Structure 1
Amino acid sequence: MPRRRPPVCNLYSSYTTQAAMRRAFEVSRDSAGNVPPLPAIFPDQMAPVVRKVDGERELIQMRWGFPPPPKVGNHPVTNVRNVASPFWRAWLKPRYRCLVPLSSFSEYKDTKPRKTPVWFAVNKDRPFAGIWRPWTGVRGTKAEPVEGEHLLYSFLTSEPNGVVGPIHPKAMPVILTTREDYETWLTAPVEEALELQRPLPDDMLEIVAEGARADQPEDVH
């Protein structure tokens, strides 16, 4: 059974209301139930994503993290970088792509004695480019195991931009910025969709918090 990853590692926050998510991503089918504001999401927890089903955009909750490849361990795989790997190939088809709404995300700053989470926010709520898949097995923690059928998601990453790079030089989430990008990611052939695997321009991202376990804005609507 997967163990929960340490807090504030590869997180995103979603303060966007459910109604606002439906409007922003032109959702016509809401299957997510009641989604409260989420100050932080951790691997293996549930969160809302947007996928396309029968020509309609659906808001639905999924669990963060794909099952790992065989013999790699048992931690959920939270992000996708090497899209040439056979492990990801089947799930990069249009039917398994999704949008992951976010308002901010965090990466660790290498400080001592403990690493410090640094929160990055875009100048307007934008989605990660993500993929999803069905999976049957046990997820959750030893204290709270969840057995059965699951919908799992992970998100696409790219090389970091000049804002994220000094903190986390390996990668950053692929953040989509236009409605055209949303539709391309959800529907285009693989080669065209993967042209979106690029870092966000530096002037569209800023550091908004450091050291907290969640990005906590003063005024949440």
Structure 2
Amino acid sequence: MCNLYNMTRAVEAMRQLFAGLDNKAGNLEPGDIYPDRLGAIITATPTGHALHRARWGLPSPKQFHSPSGIDRGVTNIRNTGSPHWRRWLDTEHRCLVPVARFAEPRTGKGAGNAWFKLADDRPAFFAGIWVPEWTSIRKLKDGETTDDLYAFLTTEPNAEVAEIHPKAMPAILTEAAEWETWLAAPWAEAKALQRPLPDGALEIPQPPSAAT
């Protein structure tokens, strides 16, 4: 399960990828994104695309809420056939989540994370789902809050990820045609994008100390 990723692209870089981008997010600072934190997402609009900030973690089924009503959210979605997720698979609720690299936990106590990035450094996005203006209790001390929420799809892993995490990897889109299909195509067509990257598409970067 991917519960940590990194985003490095600035707003101007997003504008170069999506002409006429409506920036509703303000300035974007590069850095690591953790569950329940704000991350950047891109959505389709009647006139083009918009860049937003949203909270990572979609509403979870009620049976997974705490006895006090706390819903900590779901960060990754695999079973799109579930009635809980089917209501948010239309184009109105799809988004792109910019990503530079993502982490998967290594096995073993204290083993840390393996970070994956595209081998050719091209722009990449998770295939995401967003739910705007959702009211829930995420933290007891905050009470009810109304937030724009997002998460992204996972799928079976490719060869590189399977060596670290054999159960799943994020669904990642790397081509402009894929981005537009995800945002605009009927689900019968868009669902084909919930698939792993080809083997060899990812690499685990060496730490700076090891690369010098």
Normalised by the size of structure 1, how large is the TM-score? 0.84
Query: Which ranges of 4 or more aligned residues in structure 1 deviate by more than 6 Å?
Result: none
Matched, 1:24 2:17: yes
Residue 118 of structure 1 contacts residue 209 of structure 1 at CA under 8 Å; is this kept in 2? no
Deviations 1:60-92 (A, max 9, x none): 100000121011244320011101000101110
Higher strand share: 1
Map 1:35-46 onto structure 2 (within 5 A): 35-37=28-30, 39-46=31-38
Matched letter for residue 17 of structure 2 = A
Residue 11 of structure 1 contacts residue 41 of structure 1 at CA under 8 Å; is this kept in 2? yes
Map 1:98-177 onto structure 2 (within 5 A): 98-112=95-109, 114-122=110-118, 123=120, 124-134=122-132, 135-139=134-138, 141=139, 145=142, 147-177=144-174
Identity of aligned residues (%): 44
Structure 2 vs 1, CA of residues 147 and 92 (structure 1 numbering), >3 Å: closer, same or farther? same
| 2:13 alignment partner, SS class | helix
Residue 119 of structure 1 contacts residue 209 of structure 1 at CA under 8 Å; is this kept in 2? no
**What is the deviation of 1:32?**
0.5
- Name the count of aligned residue pairs: 201
Task: Tell me how far apart the structure 1 counterparts of residues 153 and 53 of structure 2 sit (CA, whole Å).
Answer: 18
Higher RCO, Cα 8 Å, sep 6+: 1
Higher helix share: 2
Normalised by the size of structure 2, how large is the TM-score? 0.88
Stretches of structure 1 lacking an aligned partner (at least 5 in a row)? 1-7
Task: Tell me how far apart the structure 2 counterparts of residues 195 and 33 of structure 1 sit (CA, whole Å).
Answer: 33
Map 1:1-221 onto structure 2 (within 5 A): 10-37=3-30, 39-73=31-65, 74-112=71-109, 114-122=110-118, 123=120, 124-134=122-132, 135-139=134-138, 141=139, 145=142, 147-208=144-205
After superposition, the CA RMSD in angstroms is 2.1
After alignment, is 158-167 or 46-55 more displaced?
A: 46-55
Task: Tell me how far apart the structure 1 counterparts of residues 17 and 167 of structure 2 sit (CA, whole Å).
Answer: 30
